Amino acid sequence: MNYQVIDLGLGCQLIQPYDESGYYCVICAKSHGDRCMYYSDGQPVHDFICPDCRMHPGFDDTPDEKDGLTQEQYVARYRRGWLDSVGWDEECVRRLRSVFEMSDDDIDTIRTA
């Protein structure tokens, strides 16, 4: 697996996973083939919404200042909302572990976000 750091500005960054088969969602790690969520310059692909977690690049990828969350906390909270909606399906958790190389501690961080 390869990772591209996407600079969203204002100190916010996301990790765009990809490999020879294509790109993966920055939230749920669902494979999207050749559809990337962000261009190489970091600009979001506005006409794409992940069919699994409903993440919409450019709209759902940065915390609102009034939330008082860091980017990492915001992503963990978004992932928790998605995992709550799928009942913490083991295949979804396994996908996060595999694509993002998450540990048990990383998964626990999502559970408590």
Q: How many CB atoms lie within 10 A of CB 43?
A: 12
CA 93 to chain centre: 13
Q: Residue 10 — very low, low, confident or very high, per pLDDT cuts 50/70/90?
A: low
pLDDT at 46: 87
Percent of the chain with pLDDT over 70: 98
DSSP string, 86-107: TTT-HHHHHHHHHHHT--HHHH
Q: What is the spatial distance between Cα 31 and Cα 36, in angstroms, rounded to a whole number?
A: 10
pLDDT digits (tens, 9 = 90+) for 47-101: 989 999 999 987 877 777 777 888 888 889 999 999 999 999 999 999 999 999 9
pLDDT at 68: 80
82 neighbors 53 (Cβ within 8 angstroms)? yes
Q: Nearest-CA neighbor of 59 among 80, 41, 74?
A: 74
